[in-house]
Amino acid sequence: MIKYKVIVFDVDGTLLPFGVDELTPRMKEMFEKLKANGYINVLCSGRDIFTIGKQINNPYVDYFIGANGTFILDLKTNQYVFERTIKYQDYLKFYEYAIENHLPFSFVGDKFGYYNNLFNIDHWFYRPYKDKFISVEDFEKHNDKNYLITVTSNEPNVLAQKLTRFFEDNKLDLWVLAQWEGGLFISAKGITKAIGLEVLAKILNCTLEEMVAFGDSGNDIEMLESVGLGIAMGNGEDNTKTVAKEICLPVTEDGPYFKLREKGFYN
C-alpha cells in the first residue's frame, strides 16, 4: 500500500465555498491533525499571492502552488522555489490582441495585480483585494513579473479557440491553461497545477503517487489524474468527477475532512 506524504487542496469550491474566506472549525482541525501526523500540506489554486488572502497564513500549510501552477511559494521561508512567468514580448502581443478585440483581462505579478478598463475588478472574487490591483498601463514601470492572465468572457469556448489559433500563428509561448463558464486562464505554455506538483515532488524527493489531491473544477483535472489519490468534491463539475479516483462530500459539508478521516489519515 502506498504511504502518502503530501496532501494537496484546491481552495475555491474545495476548502471554501465560493465567496467565503473563513475555514470552518472542522477544516482548521483537519490541517492541524494532518500536520501533527507528519503530512506535508499544500494549497494548489488559481489564486495568487494577492487573492489568496488569509489562507496563506495557515500555520499548518507548508507550500502554496499559486496561479494554477505558475509558481511555488515555500510558506516557511517565504521564498519562491519555482516560477514560470509569461515572457514580456509574448504579453505585448496578447495585449495588442486584447485591445483590438475588446477583451477584459487582468494578470498577476509579485508586486501588484493588474487589470484593464474593461475588467470588472468589483467582482466578489477581487473585491476584497482591489487595493492590490492597478492599471495594466502601469505594468512596465514596476519591472514586475506576469504569472497568469485571466480573461472574462460569456463565450469562453469560442474565445479559447481564437486565442489558441492566435498564439500558434504568432509562435507565442502561451496557451489557454483552463476555462470556466465566465472566462479563461492564460499561462506560459505547458503549465498546469499538475506540473506544479511535479516540480514540488522533486523538491520534496517524493513521487506524485505519494500525493493526495482534492479539487472541484476544470483546472483541477490534470492534478487529480496525476496524483496517487485524486478526490473530487461532491459539488465538483462532472468532468472533474469523471477523472477522480474517489468523490467526497461537498465543500459545504466539509468533504475533505470526512474523507481523510474515513481513510485513516487521522482520528
Domain CATH number, residue 136: 3.30.1240.10
CA 61 to chain centre: 15
Nearest to 150, CA basis, from 126, 130, 167: 126
Total domains in the chain come to 2
**Residue at which a domain ends, from 188, 213, 245:** 188
Question: pTM of the predicted model, to two decimals?
Answer: 0.94
Same structural domain, 152 and 219: no
Same structural domain, 180 and 210: no
Same structural domain, 214 and 251: yes
- Quote the CA–CA distance of 181 and 211 in Å, as a whole number: 29
Q: Show the cell assigned to 183.
A: 472566462
> Which tens digits make up the pLDDT trace of 33-43?
999 999 999 99
Residue 228 domain flag: yes
- Quote the CA–CA distance of 54 and 116 in Å, as a whole number: 26
Contact between 240 and 248 (Cβ < 8 Å):
no
Residues contacting residue 96 through CB under 8 Å, at least 6 positions apart: none
78-84 own/partner pairs: CB under 8 Å, 24+ apart:
80/110, 81/203, 82/196, 82/199, 82/200, 82/203, 83/145, 83/147, 84/147, 84/187, 84/188, 84/191
Residue 32 domain flag: yes
Same structural domain, 161 and 208: no
> Which tens digits make up the pLDDT trace of 36-95?
999 999 999 999 999 999 999 999 999 999 999 999 999 999 999 999 999 999 999 999
Residue 54 domain flag: yes
Q: What is the pLDDT of residue 221?
A: 95
Q: What is the pLDDT of residue 175?
A: 98
> Which tens digits make up the pLDDT trace of 124-158?
999 999 999 999 999 999 999 999 999 999 999 99
> How confident is the model over 169-179, as a mean pLDDT?
96
Residue 147 domain flag: yes
Same structural domain, 132 and 177: yes
Which helix (H) or strand (E) segment holds residue 80: the answer is strand 79-83
Same structural domain, 207 and 146: no
- Quote the CA–CA distance of 230 and 72 in Å, as a whole number: 20
220: left (phi over 0), alpha (psi -120 to 50) or beta: alpha
Residue 24 domain flag: yes
Same structural domain, 174 and 205: no
Same structural domain, 71 and 159: no
**Residue at which a domain ends, from 156, 188, 220:** 188
Residue 267 domain flag: no
Q: What is the pLDDT of residue 1?
A: 55
Residue 142 domain flag: yes
CATH (domain of 230):
3.40.50.1000
Q: What is the pLDDT of residue 22?
A: 95
Residues contacting residue 217 through CB under 8 Å, at least 6 positions apart: 10, 12, 13, 178, 180, 236, 237, 240
Same structural domain, 157 and 246: no
Q: What percent of the chain has pLDDT over 90?
A: 98
> Which tens digits make up the pLDDT trace of 158-170?
999 999 999 999 9
Residue 1 domain flag: no
The distance in angstroms from the start CA to the end CA of the chain is 19
Nearest to 208, CA basis, from 225, 193, 228, 190: 228
Same structural domain, 59 and 129: no
Same structural domain, 100 and 54: no
- Quote the CA–CA distance of 181 and 202 in Å, as a whole number: 34
To the nearest whole number, what is the mean pLDDT of the chain?
Answer: 96
Per-residue confidence band for 19, with pLDDT thresholds at 50, 70 and 90: confident
Tell me how crowded residue 40 is: count the other CB atoms within 10 A of its CB: 19
Same structural domain, 50 and 70: yes
Q: What is the pLDDT of residue 2?
A: 74
**Residue at which a domain ends, from 170, 188, 206:** 188
- Quote the CA–CA distance of 163 and 168 in Å, as a whole number: 8
Q: What is the pLDDT of residue 20?
A: 93
Domain range for 127 is: 88-188
Q: Show the cell assigned to 102.
A: 475588446
Q: Cα–Cα–Cα angle for 57, 62, 68, nearest 5°? A: 85
